[in-house]
Each structure stands twice: as C-alpha cells, then as structure tokens.
Amino acid sequence: MKPVKVGLLGLGTVGCGTVNVLLRNGEEIARRAGRQIQVSQASVRELDKRRNCPTDGIALTQDSTAIVSSPEIDVVVELIGGHDPARQLVLQAIAAGKHIVTANKALIAVHGNEIFRAAREKGVMVAFEAAVGGGIPIIKAIREGLSGNRIEWVAGIINGTGNFILTEMRDRGRSFDEVLADAQRLGYAEADPSFDVAGIDAAHKLTILASIAFGIPLQFEKTYTEGIADVTRADVKYAEELGYRIKHLGIARHAENGVELRVHPTLIPERRLIANVNGIMNAILIKGDALGPTMYYGAGAGADPTASAIVADLVDVVRTLTADPNNRVPHLAFHADALSDLKILSMEDVQTSYYLRMRVHDRPGVLAEIAQLLASQQISIEAVIQKEPAEGENVVPLIMLTHRVLEKNMNAALTQIETLESIQGKVVRLRMEHLDSDWK
Ligand code: HSE
C-alpha cells in the first residue's frame, strides 16, 4: 500500500522531533499503522536555516496554505501554535478533507468546539494527544482506557516550566527569573513565557482534560487561572515545615452543584506521589468511581516526548483512514450530541482548605481576634505556627492552615482580617488540597 503523506506546518523543535522519530522508528511504526508514514512537505519561516533533523525528501516551503490544499497530503500536522493563523490553516485543511494532528493546546481549548464541528461535517479526524502532558498518553487514557468510569476529579501538574521553577526554588533556593531563563534556553517554555508563569498554558490543558473527562464543551473562558509569580521562597519553606509542598495544579472536579475548573498554586501533603513530581515532569492524577485514583507521569515537554504523542496520533489516524467516520472515537470522548451543559462553578462556590500567612503585631489577643473573625465565617483552624520576631522587630509571621470552607466565606473573613490594626499588609492566601481517594 502506498505511504500516507504528511504535511508539517512548522519544522521547529517538535517538527524536527517528529521527523526524527518517524525516521528512527519507521519500520516499527509502519508495522503498527499498517502503512508507512512519510513527511513529504513542511512549511518553515526560513528556508536556509540549520535544523536538528534531516530534510531530504521533504519539500520545504514558506507557504503553509500550499500544504493544506495540496492534493498529495493526507494528514496535516499543525505545529505553529497559538490562535491565528493556526486556526485558519486547520479549518482550511479540514475543508480540503485532510485529517489533522496538532500539539496546539490554545487552539483546541479556545477554538476546539468550532474545529470539531467542521471536522465532523467533513468526516475527518482531529487528534491532539500532544496538546496535554507532552508525551504522556493522557487523552487516550481518559477517552478510551477510563470510558467505563464516572470521572470524579482530575488534578495535574500540567505545565513543566512552572513545575521546574517551583522545584528549583525549593531544592536549590534559586530565584524565579534565573530558573525561567533556563526553561526558555532548554526549549520548555512557551514562545510567550508569561503563558507558563501566569497559568494560561495549564488552563488551556485543563480545559481539554475537563471536557473529555466530564463530557462538557470546551470552556476555557470559565477556567479560573492563577499563576506562580506570587509564590515566595518563604511560603515554600513554611509549607514544608507543615508537611506540604506547593505545586501549580490544574483541578477539574465534578462537584455536587457543578464543575470546578481551576488552576492555581496548591499546597499538597508531601507524602502524595504527585507532590514528588519534580522539574520539567508532568503528572496527572485521575479519580474514577470504578478504578479509583490513577496517576500518569512523564515528560511534559521537549522534542522527542512531544513527537511520541504526535506519531501515536498519526498511527491512530492511519489505522482509521478507512473506518466509518460515525464509528470513530469521538473527539471529546462523548458523542457530540451527548455533551452535557453542567454548570461551571465560580470560585466563590468552590470549597478548599487554605494556607494563610500574615504579618502580625506580637502582642496578647491578636491570635484570638483573627480566630474569631475566621470562626464568624465558619472557618475552622487546622494548624498555626508563629515565628520568632527578627531582632528589634515587633511584627512576626503567622501561618495558619484551615479546614475546608467555601471560598466566599474565606474572602469575607480575609477582608475583615485585613482591616485589623494588628495586621500589617495583605494576607497571603494559598489553596490546599489533600487529594485523598475519599475526595469526591
Ligand atoms: N510550555 C509548556 C510546558 C510546553 O512548560 O509545559 C508543553 O506544553
């Protein structure tokens, strides 16, 4: 049978990784797919640039539209990233009857509903394993491996750059900016690294995970997003003294009154496996009602790991080229006409435990005043540490952990606490989750 012809939009880190993996493992990949997979065209910004992969046999062009409309191409692999022109090119390719493989999480999270609709009308596949968790086959695991479960929650470290920064701050006391510069040099960070730091990249990925876990449309705009820029070394150290690690988590939870979709720094008990996922690695913990908790761990970024996911998608596309489009695995795991309109909760309606750090005057009655304001909002304290004042100072750090409470109650309590004369400055507030298997 003649090889399946692939057109790459973009031949940077991941594009070259894909070419290298297809060349290196071509024979085994063909034995799995049933046909050879050949990259025959690629669009690039500069034709003469030195690349990390051989380009013999690949027609290079600066015109991506020529690839998406080329009669020779069966599958378009979109590796440009971002919204437009990636969105227009993908829609043009679909209109021309091409199958799509993409690593673009922004594209799927924000424009996925539109893209999947167009793909269904044309009977083509859009595969996006590489968009979440780099090389970890998490989309396939949820969409197929867990399809017998009612998924209760998903909690993941899904941005490698952010995890690398938090790990280096904790383990080596390195500064935020220095570690971010390393992540950029190593090719892990997004083209705009503020996407990593501000949590937007993780929010894109969480949006996708939540859709396939709960059978809801993609709703990036409703995902609460908080980055890691305000996490200080002091908080990392105090959390550790209390037996917790601070991780930047994406959490999607099917609660009784709706769905929680939230990305924020989170204290988790240090004994949890996921608390020990360090550096650039990603991990996604999923609780299914039948299976219980499972964790998926691996490289969340980088040329070969991301290529591993792209090539797996190519194999899936090739295997189903001749299958009836109505009997393929649905893009978002659930059939398009069976998606549910479950409400996405606002943060005020989310319940979590909290870590609070404040600077207080060291005198009698201060702790009682704070405890009383917390109690007035039904907030129960789990632990308290008060540090020694620095030489000649009368203001000390006071750290508290609380039990679970609605965020609106915590907001009300903090507003009152911050008006106390005995408190200096703002209260630092981080959310805390125990992620135990009883959490529903
Ligand atoms: N910037 C992303 C990360 C790359 O650091 O996880 C992989 O999506």
Same domain, 142 and 131: no
Can you give the chain as a three-state secondary structure string?
CCCEEEEEECCCHHHHHHHHHHHHCHHHHHHHHCCCEEEEEEECCCCCCCCCCCCCCCEEECCHHHHHCCCCCCEEEECCCCCCCHHHHHHHHHHCCCEEEECCHHHHHHHHHHHHHHHHHHCCCEECHHHCCCCCCHHHHHHHHCCCCCEEEEEEECCHHHHHHHHHHHHHCCCHHHHHHHHHHCCCCCCCCHHHHCCHHHHHHHHHHHHHHHCCCCCHHHCEECCCCCCCHHHHHHHHHCCEEEEEEEEEEEECCEEEEEEEEEEEECCCHHHHCCCCEEEEEEEECCCEEEEEEEECCCHHHHHHHHHHHHHHHHHCCCCCHHHCCCCCCCCHHHCCCCCECCHHHCEEEEEEEEEEECCCCHHHHHHHHHHHCCCCEEEEEECCCCCCCCEEEEEEEECCEEHHHHHHHHHHHCCCCCEEEEEEEEEECCCCCCCC
What residues are annotated to the active site?
205
129 in contact with ligand 1, CB cutoff 6 A: no
Is the same domain home to 108 and 15?
yes
Is residue 344 a part of any domain in this protein? no
What mean pLDDT do residues 323-343 have? 89
Confidence check: pLDDT of 189 > 90: no
pLDDT single digits (tens) 277-310: 999 999 999 999 999 999 999 999 889 999 999 9
- What domain range is 193 assigned to? 138-299
Mean local confidence (pLDDT), 145-158: 98
Give yes or no for residue 185 having a pLDDT over 90.
no
Residue of the CA atom closest to atom 4 of ligand 1: 301
pLDDT value at residue 420: 96
Q: Which residue has the higher pLDDT, 230 or 390?
A: 230
CATH number of the domain residue 206 falls in: 3.30.360.10
Distance between Cα 51 and ligand 1 center (Å): 21
Confidence class for position 110, pLDDT limits 50, 70, 90: very high
pLDDT in tens, 231-256: 998 999 999 999 999 999 999 999 99
Same domain? 180 vs 246:
yes
Same domain assignment for residues 276 and 163: yes
Which of 139, 157, 188, 247 gets mutated to test ligand 1 (max ligand atoms within 8 A of its CB)?
Answer: 188
Residue 322 has pLDDT above 80, yes or no: no
Q: Choose which residue among 161, 163, 167 to substitute to test ligand 1 binding: the one with the highest number of ligand atoms within 8 A of its C-beta.
A: 161
Check residue 1 and give its pLDDT. Answer: 83
437 assigned to some structural domain = no
Total tally of structural domains belonging to the chain: 3
Tell me the pLDDT tens digit for each residue of 57-103. Answer: 999 999 999 999 999 999 999 999 999 999 999 999 999 999 999 99
Whether 250 is in the pocket of ligand 1, judged by its Cβ within 6 Å, is: no
| Same-domain pairing of 266 and 220 | yes
Which pLDDT value is given to residue 24?
98
Q: Indicate the pTM of the whole model.
A: 0.95
Q: What is the CATH number of the domain that holds 44?
A: 3.40.50.720
159 CA to centre of ligand 1 in angstroms: 5
Q: Is 188 in the pocket of ligand 1 (CB under 6 A)?
A: yes
Say how many Å lie between the CA of residue 89 and the centre of ligand 1.
Answer: 22
pLDDT, mean of residues 36-48? 97
pLDDT band at residue 191 using 50, 70 and 90 as cut-offs: confident
Q: Which atom of ligand 1 is nearest to the CA of 306?
A: 7
